[in-house]
Amino acid sequence: MAEQITDILKHFNLGLAPQPFGNGHINDTYIVPVKNSFVLQKINKNVFRDPVAVMENVKAVTDHLRGKIVAAGGDPTRETLFFIDTYDGAPYYKSDDDEYYRVYIYVDGVKSFDAAESPIQLYHAAKAFGKFQDMLADFPAARLHEVIPSFHDTVKRFGDFERSVAANPSGRAGNAAPEIAFVTERKSDCGTVVDALRSGEIPMRVTHNDTKLNNVLLDDETGEGVCVIDLDTVMPGSLLYDFGDALRFAGSTGAEDEPDLSRISFDLTNFEFFTRGFIEALPSITERECELLPFSVKLMTLECGMRFLADYIDGDVYFKTAYPEHNLIRARTQFKLVSDIEEKMDVMTDIVRNCRG
């Protein structure tokens, strides 16, 4: 494997060319200058069927970010992912066995966290996501490929759900009647953001689409957000998708598959800290986007629960499961969270207004 990696790295312009060193009379001596550490990744073609499109998106977005960072006097090798081109000028290398590899500069002095240790971490992560959105506000999002088509098209997701229920390939639909009814009662919610995008009521933006806390690198010393990572799913969409999905994770008081629903509720403190950081870093947010922030948390949570439930009915063909009822338990936790968000919607709306000023 080490030999294979060495061969792959030869194709990237890492600036590692040996240079003569010293003036010894016996041995030929060279130095290999290394300023940075580098990360080598193989793109998962099972998830991303078109790696070229993925890298075209990532390259376009990081180039745009780098220009903004340089103009602001920042460090473009630290504040966004900095991909190294091959000697052929491509941001990836395609091997003889049809695999795709990329290399980027390692960001040091930072940590990532799977779960927040305090609300202030969410504040700093939200500022990083908000800044990411704001720097890309003038990027023509329509130029990006849809690497996962209709990823957050909640109208389509609802249609897929209805088809799963009607077909009932696993015969499990009868075990989930209350959960099916829960989703069906909220059908009208599914078109709110999709319709607003289509009508131009809210702007089409570059969306990250995986805004978990661990996709922000936080500075070891200050705790502030340094760099947003994992850009494979950048696509056109609404910032409401990113905000809502981030708080689907960060706002829940329990695990995604917690069977004891009494442990599941929506944490308003975490919501307030995240919302404040996000809005502070995003002056380009529109009034209508602000109004829809609380609703977006509900929508993204409903979408996720709907997907878990559909997969349960389909026979667990998409999400990995540890036991037969796993996807149904996951759906129930999401729906409990949706119910709690609905009860707290007025308070969440007030929080957004206060953060907006």
DSSP code string of 77-143: TTSS--BPPBTTS-SSEE-TTS-EEEEEEPPPSEE--SS-SSHHHHHHHHHHHHHHHHHTTTS-GGG
**Mean pLDDT on 146-150:** 94
Count CA atoms closer than 13 A to 131's CA, side-chain side: 21
Q: pLDDT per residue over 31-71, tens digit each?
A: 555 667 889 999 999 889 999 999 999 999 999 999 999 99
What is the rounded CA–CA span in Å between residue 280 and residue 130? 8
Q: pLDDT per residue over 125-137, tens digit each?
A: 999 999 999 999 9
Q: pLDDT per residue over 245-302, tens digit each?
A: 999 999 999 999 999 999 999 999 999 999 999 999 999 999 999 999 999 999 999 9
Which of the two residues, 6 and 2, has the higher pLDDT score? 6
DSSP code string of 18-40: -EE-S--SSS--EE----S-EEE
Is the pLDDT assigned to residue 313 strictly greater than 90?
yes
Domains of the chain, with CATH numbers?
2-108 (3.30.200), 111-356 (3.90.1200.10)
Burial class (CB in 10 A: 0-12, 13-18, 19+), 290: middle
Is the pLDDT assigned to residue 25 strictly greater than 70?
no
C-alpha triplet 30, 33, 38: angle, nearest 5° = 135
The reported pLDDT for the residue numbered 357 is: 83
